[in-house]
Amino acid sequence: MPKYLLLKNYTGGPERHPNFAPMSEWTEDEITAHLAFQRHVGELLRERGEFVDVQALSPEGTYVRYGGPGAAPVTTDGPFPETKELAAGWFMIDVESEARAYEIAAYLSSAPGKDGQPIYEWIEVRPVLSDAPAAVE
């Protein structure tokens, strides 16, 4: 079965939903309800044998690369620090089809947000490469 990454973003997607308040404006109960929904989705996927992994990400992070023989790693806040806070987390799923991945992403996008209302946030669906990509000529 093909695997897909369902990527959640802090800043929305191609267009921001007008009722999407940043999590920093949510109450503790609203955040708790949102996280409970995420756990619920994980449980549903486990029951169906479609769950691979789920992770939430902090907006903080550092880019690191090899510094050369005997040198310390090189670190920076990145070439585009204004975009580094995009990835909020992901679900990795193993499903029968791309259509099923879209179904799950649509359901995941209805997680509760401020005032318990569904967010209807954009979820990016990316297929996981099972082989090396074909060479571009």
Distance from C-alpha of 101 to C-alpha of 123, rounded to nearest angstrom: 11
Q: Give pTM, 2 decimals.
A: 0.76
Interval 37-54: pLDDT, tens: 999 999 999 999 999 988
Task: Give the residue extent of every domain in the chain.
Answer: 3-57+76-128
**Tens digits of residue pLDDT in 66-124:** 778 888 887 776 655 555 556 778 889 999 999 999 999 999 988 998 899 888 888 88
Q: Are 105 and 111 in contact (CB under 8 A)?
A: no
Within 13 Å and on the Cβ side, how many CA atoms surround 107?
A: 13
**Domain 3-57+76-128 bears CATH identifier 3.30.70.1060:** yes
Q: Which SS3 state, helix, strand or coil, does residue 106 take?
A: helix
